[in-house]
Amino acid sequence: MAASPKIPLLGLTFQELSAVVQQQKEPEYRARQLFEAIYSHRLPSLELISTLPRRFRSALQEQGMEVSPAQIQKSFPSVDGTIRYLVEMFDGESVETVWMPEGDGGEAADGSEAGDEIAEAGFDRATICVSSQMGCAVNCQFCLTAQLGVKRNLTAGEIVGQVIAVLNDRRVDMERQRINIVFMGMGEPFLNYWEFMKAVRLLVEGVGFSESRMTVSTSGIVPRIHDFGSEPVRPKLAISLNAPNDQLRERIMPLNRKWNLDKLMQAARDFPLRNRERITFEYVLLRDFNDRKEHAREVVEMLRGIRCKVNLIALNPGPGIAFATPEEQQVHDFQQDLIRAGIPAFVRRPRGRDIYAACGQLKRTVA
Ligand code: SAH
Ligand code: SF4
């Protein structure tokens, strides 16, 4: 007999869980119990939700309902403490999620300075990098994920499921540890906008993340940047700039033909920033392509008047990528040129390169 299709509860809003409860003719307050068990207590299976009566749990199970659609299949630890997880979904397909613990000081994976925070002894900080799609369709020429093409969008439950799987694996205590989320894994979040935003709301309302601890990176899907600006609850915005002019950007990011730098910069200028908030621009440095002095000058001109900062990322190389990584001195000079022009610029240090976990390296590498 074929197994009945599995239906995840994780990914449902409180209202949607209320509908499930109603359908089972259970009292209304069970919806709150379910919501809390799944999102705040992060219980991985119905058996463990002991606040619910057994008959209710069995009824849900008989209908194929399970808690999470995301299970850790394999993990790859790096020498630097980073862990790359292969997370499997109900259809047998998997995505990657990366755990990056932060040491004392230095720069967090989202580019924020540790100095921003009040130093507290024994306080744990880490960043989880989450995927939004299986593969990616944007086809940036420096990115390994692009080589997969796009298989499908992830559901909100599959996005939140990655976070919960990693929080549980690392035994995170949300009250005591400071965890950031960056939507910078596989895929283009703004091409899966509604599920991505639903996941954000569940992470805030259910799991207990504040919006200021989340950052989403987009390659520049201009209409969604406008939509995103009017969301009442939203992560911080990062934009993958990667080039100083249209001519170069078109060569490495085909989407620039649809949304060129004029349009992108207009969207950035129009973006309603919160108090003290800045837009982050990511810039992948490719040797002799976009890393010269004149390029830094063009970037400075382009960003004039935008409240922003720049995260520089020296290319993480990989098979089939036709670019090279610049010398450290070149990266440093580029950074200094921006800083001298008054633009805060940081160099994102590569995390987990040895296990193919660094930016642009997520390709479901199994070794
Ligand atoms: N798709 C979204 C988010 C995921 S990519 C986006 O592109 O913004 C996260 C960041 O990694 C992007 O800024 C991207 O430009 C960068 N990146 C991609 N491939 C890279 C590589 N090989 N080396 C360094 N950074 C890379
Ligand atoms: Fe997709 Fe981002 Fe990679 Fe471009 S850099 S192919 S948008 S994941």
What is the whole-number distance in angstroms between the Cα of residue 18 and the centre of ligand 2? 37
* Whole-number Å distance between alpha carbons of 111 and 181: 12
What is the whole-number distance in angstroms between the Cα of residue 67 and the centre of ligand 2? 30
Residue 47 falls in the annotated catalytic set: no
How sure is the predictor about 2, in pLDDT bands with cuts at 50, 70 and 90?
low
Residue of 136, 283, 286 with the most ligand 2 atoms within 8 Å of its CB, for mutation: 136
- 207 pLDDT exceeds 50? yes
What is the whole-number distance in angstroms between the Cα of residue 284 and the centre of ligand 1? 7
pLDDT digits (tens, 9 = 90+) for 219-233: 999 999 999 999 999
How sure is the predictor about 104, in pLDDT bands with cuts at 50, 70 and 90?
very low
pLDDT digits (tens, 9 = 90+) for 136-191: 999 999 999 999 999 999 999 999 999 999 999 999 999 999 999 999 999 999 99
pLDDT digits (tens, 9 = 90+) for 265-275: 999 999 999 99
- 112 pLDDT exceeds 90? no
Partners of 236 in the β-ladder: 215
Residue of 110, 150, 256, 284 with the most ligand 1 atoms within 8 Å of its CB, for mutation: 284
Residue type, 185: G
How sure is the predictor about 360, in pLDDT bands with cuts at 50, 70 and 90?
confident
Q: Nearest C-alpha to atom 8 of ligand 2 is from which residue?
A: 187
Give the number of C-alpha atoms closer than 13 A to the C-alpha of residue 276, restricted to the C-beta side. Answer: 3
* pLDDT for 34: 97
How sure is the predictor about 105, in pLDDT bands with cuts at 50, 70 and 90?
very low
* pLDDT for 119: 40
Q: Which residue has the tokens 């989450």?
A: 130
Q: Please work out whether the CB of residue 146 comes within 6 Å of at least one atom of ligand 2.
A: yes
Region 48-70: what's the mean pLDDT?
Answer: 96
How sure is the predictor about 132, in pLDDT bands with cuts at 50, 70 and 90?
very high
Residues 6+ away with beta carbon under 8 Å from 342: none
Q: Which ligand is nearest to the CA of 145?
A: 2
- Residue of 26, 96, 158, 188 with catalytic role: 96
Residue 231 falls in the annotated catalytic set: no
* Whole-number Å distance between alpha carbons of 127 and 179: 6
% of the chain with per-residue pLDDT over 90 = 86
Q: Which ligand is nearest to the CA of 321?
A: 1
What is the whole-number distance in angstroms between the Cα of residue 361 and the centre of ligand 1? 9
* Whole-number Å distance between alpha carbons of 316 and 338: 22
Q: Nearest C-alpha to atom 12 of ligand 1 is from which residue?
A: 240
Phi/psi of residue 85, each to 5°? -105, 140
What is the whole-number distance in angstroms between the Cα of residue 218 and the centre of ligand 2? 8
Burial state string for 342-352 with b = 16 or more CB within 10 A and e = fewer than 16: ebebbbbebbb
* Whole-number Å distance between alpha carbons of 29 and 23: 14
9 DSSP assignment: S
Mean pLDDT score of the chain: 92
Return the ligand 2 atom nearest residue 136 CA.
1
Return the ligand 2 atom nearest residue 143 CA.
3
* pLDDT for 4: 66
Q: Which ligand is nearest to the CA of 320?
A: 1
pLDDT digits (tens, 9 = 90+) for 291-336: 999 999 999 999 999 999 999 999 999 899 999 999 999 999 999 9
